[in-house]
Structure 1
Amino acid sequence: MNSLFGTYECKVDTKGRLPIPAGLKKQLADCMEDGFVIKRSVFQQCLEIHPMKNWEKIMIDLGKLNRFVKKNSDFIRIYTAGVKMVEVDSNCRLQISKDLVKYASIDKDVVLSSSVDFIEIWDKELYESIINNVDDVDFAQIAEDIMGNLNEDE
C-alpha cells in the first residue's frame, strides 16, 4: 500500500456503520480483503483505521518490548485498549463498535482524514474545531522544526 491521502466527509448510521468513500476505496483496494483494525488515537479524541498488514507490523514492534518493564506493559495495555478487528461488509462499510463511537464523540457526520499509512475518523464538529483553532498552534514553526532539516543528509 502506498501512502494514503485525502480528507473525506461522510455519515455514520445509527448502527455505527461507516461507508468507505470512493476515493479511499481505490487507495485501499489491495487491503480490503485482509480487513482493518479500528482503535483509539493516542493523542486526539478520534479513532484510527489501520490496514491489517500495517497493524501486524505495529504488533511486531510491540512484541519486541520487554513486558517485565512496567512502562512497556502499561503502554501496550493502553495502546491496544478498545482495539477491534473489522472487515468491509458487502456494502463497503466498516462497523464501528459503540464503545469507540462513544470515545470519539461520533454523532452522525464524520471526517475521514488520511495520516500517511492509516486513517483518522473524527466527529465532524470536533475535527473542524481542532483544524480551525490555529491560535493554540504555530503551524509554521512546527513545520520548520519537523520538516526543515529533512534534506540536510542528502
Structure 2
Amino acid sequence: MATFAGQYNATIDDKGRVVLPSAFKKAMGEMQLEFVVVEKNRRSKCLDIHTVDTWERGVEKFRAKLSPETNPMHDKLLQLYFQNFVHVGVAANGRINIPNEFLEYAGLKDKVSFLGMQTSIRLSTAVSAQESVSDEDYLDMLKMIDGQNT
C-alpha cells in the first residue's frame, strides 16, 4: 500500500489537468497507475485522490454497514455516496484530468496544493502563509487529542 506524506504546490491548466507530484508517483511504486479515484471531500470542501485499491477497501467497509436491498434509506445513501467519486485516468507523466464539476466544488482554479494524508492525497487551494496554523495552535490541538487540554 502506498503511503503519502508532504505538501507540494502545482498548477491546474485551463482544461482541468494537473500533474501528480513525483514524490507521490514514486510512493505508488509498482502499483498499476492507470486510474485514480477522485472524491469530493464533503467535510473539508476539497478533493481527495485515492488509489483504486484504497478506494475499493473504503467502499467495502462502508457497504458492510448498509442493507440497500431491504432499506430504502440505505439505498439512497449509497447513491449519494457514489456521487462523490469519479475514476480518472493517469497519463504516463502522472497527469490527471479532473472533471470541471469536481474542480468547481472544491474551488480549484489554478494554484493548488497536494497534501499527503497517509493513504490518500488531498488536493485543495494553495495555502498561503496567512492561512496556515501557528506552531502554538498546532501544539494546542495535539494536546487536546492527548487529553492534556489545560
Settle same-fold status: TM greater than 0.5. Answer: yes
Counterpart of 1:30 in 2: which secondary structure? coil
Give the structure 2 partner of residue 112 of structure 1: 114
Q: How many matched pairs?
A: 143
Mapping of residues 1-154 of structure 1, within 5 Å: 1-66=1-66, 67=68, 68=71, 70=73, 72-124=74-126, 127-128=127-128, 131-132=131-132, 138-146=137-145, 148=146
Percent identical residues: 20
Counterpart of 2:24 in 1: which secondary structure? helix
Aligned partners of 1:2, 1:91: CA distance in 2, in Å?
18
Alignment root-mean-square deviation, CA: 2.5
Query: Shift of the alpha carbon at 1:112?
Result: 0.3
Q: What amino acid does structure 1 have at the position aligned with 2:97? A: Q
Aligned partners of 1:104, 1:122: CA distance in 2, in Å?
7
Equivalent pair of 1:32/1:88 in contact (CA under 8 Å):
no
Query: Shift of the alpha carbon at 1:94?
Result: 0.7
TM-score normalised according to structure 2 size: 0.81
* C-alpha distance 140-75 of structure 1, shift in aligned 2 (>3 A): farther
Name the one with the larger strand percent.
2
Aligned partners of 1:107, 1:38: CA distance in 2, in Å?
16
Aligned partners of 2:118, 2:131: CA distance in 1, in Å?
17
TM-score normalised according to structure 1 size: 0.79
Unaligned runs of 5+ in 1: 150-154
Unaligned runs of 5+ in 2: none
Higher relative contact order (CA 8 A, sep 6+): 2
